[in-house]
Amino acid sequence: MPEISIDNSEFKHLLTQVLAAGSELTFRAKGESMRPFIDDGDALTIRLVAAEETRVGDVVLYESETGRILAHRVIKTTGRHDQRLLLVQGDALPNPDGWIRPEQVLGKANLLGPKNRWYLANPAIHRLLVWLWLMPITRRIYYMLAALKSGIR
């Protein structure tokens, strides 16, 4: 199947139309910001979700203040209902993107693939791995190992 490349505004329009119709949208991730859980080229299926239904550890698709569409992990939440804010960050990034408002959330990653990594087959194991990943020491060890690995090449 040929790849189709569209800009952020076209993608957002397509996504909102598909989700409003009650369907899901699958697309290929671009970039390395979500490694090691999501690689460049992995498929993400996005479904409509209210921001109140998101939890720490979920991957949400959101529109940044600059208009970019990003799929990053919720690492912290604050507030309730219309006052709720989500702190999001790419797994491979050292710092959070910042707090986002519920209206910025376009959807939630429901399925990752096509590699269908073993940990995705069991939601409990996946949640455990994400919980471990969100611990600062785990991320520091990963970054140190990645730096060592790149220095060896």
pLDDT digits (tens, 9 = 90+) for 23-55: 888 888 888 888 877 888 888 888 888 877 888
Q: Decide if 94 contacts 143 (C-beta within 8 A).
A: yes
Which regions of the chain does DSSP assign to beta strands (E)?
25-28, 43-47, 59-63, 69-78, 85-89, 98-100, 105-113
Q: Looking at per-residue confidence, does 105 or 112 come out higher?
A: 105
Q: Decide if 51 contacts 42 (C-beta within 8 A).
A: no
Q: How far is CA 149 from the centre of its chain?
A: 25
Confidence at residue 62, expressed as pLDDT on a 0 to 100 scale? 93
Non-local CB neighbours of 117 within 8 Å, separated by 6+ positions: none
Which of the four pLDDT bands, split at 50, 70 and 90, describes residue 89? very high
Which of the four pLDDT bands, split at 50, 70 and 90, describes residue 71? very high
User: 137-150: per-residue pLDDT in tens?
Assistant: 776 777 777 777 76
Which of the four pLDDT bands, split at 50, 70 and 90, describes residue 85? very high
C-alpha separations of 65 from 76, 93, 99, 103 in Å: 19, 18, 10, 11
Does pLDDT of 121 surpass 60?
Answer: no
In the chain, % of residues over pLDDT 70:
82
* Domains along the sequence of the chain with CATH: 8-117 (2.10.109.10)
- pTM equals 0.75
